[in-house]
Amino acid sequence: MRIHRIALASALLFGTGGAFAADGDLPSAETILDRNVEANGGRAAYEKRHSTCRVEDFEVVNTPIKGTMTTYGQAPDKKYSEIDIPMVGKFRQGSDGRIAWSLSEMAGPKLLEGEERAIALISGRFNNELYWRELYKRVETVGMEDVDGKPAYIVVRTPKEGKPVTEYFDAATFLTVKGVMKLQTADGEIRAEVFPSDYRKEGGIMVPHKVVTKSAGQERVITLRTFTVNEEAPAGTFDIPAEIRALLKQP
């Protein structure tokens, strides 16, 4: 899991005001991203993984809203997520390297297009941390900033389609420690801050067991319950739902 997923499959954007180091004084973005792969467990550990399943609990702080999120990933580019919120309903989203879609009880079926599709396909690329050179046309280190009192490098990635992606990497550990994303919602664009923490190894790779997201005056906490590697997903997990297939048939 990376800032790109946590959910989580959204572009991370950051205005660099407050950065306190010049680009020439910093390691290159290429170096930082390669060090991040090593910090997470290394290429060999990633390449041993062919599928994953994560189950997470989440809640909106100071509200009764709670739920679970289950996410399956399979090489090379299949992903399926299901969010179940008893007070709201279910939300499903998937991608297969070509088609990206969403389906909810409130909004109905939707084929993702443009930037939404681009973000979903990057998020759906299995072990995408290894393939940043393919997924982004440009990466650059733009400065440093303290995150929880510790210096972090700020790296901006520009994908082949969509808005730039920005992540903060702890300068000592090279783990991802923060992201700031702008999300397009029905009510307009909102800003969200994402803080992954409590990293532990799962299947040889460092995985954050807690993610806090702050946006629109609310705080959401996601806690990892289980994480399994190389176990076959239930039959039909990655099948495109009938409602989405019907949209594909339309002119």
Instruction: Measure Cα distances from 153 to 40, 145, 237 in Å.
Output: 16, 7, 38
pTM: 0.86
- The span from the CA of 187 to the CA of 179, in Å, is 22
Distance of CA 232 to the CA centre of its chain: 22
> Any idea which of 23-27, 57-61, 92-96, 194-198 has the lowest mean pLDDT?
23-27
Quickly count: other Cβ atoms within 10 Å of residue 192's Cβ. Answer: 20
- 50 Cβ neighbours under 8 A, 6+ residues apart: 74, 75, 126, 230
Instruction: Measure Cα distances from 19 to 91, 112, 125 in Å.
Output: 38, 35, 31
CA angle 180, 114, 16 (to 5 degrees): 25
> Any idea which of 3-7, 73-77, 149-153, 184-188 has the lowest mean pLDDT?
3-7
Residue 130 has pLDDT above 50, yes or no: yes
Q: What residue ranges in the chain does DSSP mark as E strands?
A: 51-60, 66-74, 78-85, 89-95, 100-104, 108-111, 136-147, 150-159, 165-170, 176-185, 188-202, 205-215, 218-229
- The span from the CA of 52 to the CA of 4, in Å, is 16
Per-residue confidence (pLDDT) for residue 19, from 0 to 100: 38
- The span from the CA of 128 to the CA of 121, in Å, is 10
- The span from the CA of 122 to the CA of 4, in Å, is 8
Pairing of strands 78-85, 89-95: antiparallel
- The span from the CA of 240 to the CA of 243, in Å, is 8
Per-residue confidence (pLDDT) for residue 135, from 0 to 100: 94
Residue 79 has pLDDT above 70, yes or no: yes
- The span from the CA of 44 to the CA of 38, in Å, is 10
Under 8 Å between Cβ of 11 and 115: yes
- The span from the CA of 12 to the CA of 191, in Å, is 10
Percentage of residues in the chain with pLDDT exceeding 90? Answer: 74
163-198 tens-digit pLDDT: 788 899 999 999 999 987 776 666 777 778 899 999
Per-residue confidence (pLDDT) for residue 18, from 0 to 100: 35
Across residues 211-238, what is the average pLDDT?
A: 95
Residue 24 has pLDDT above 80, yes or no: no
- The span from the CA of 176 to the CA of 197, in Å, is 9
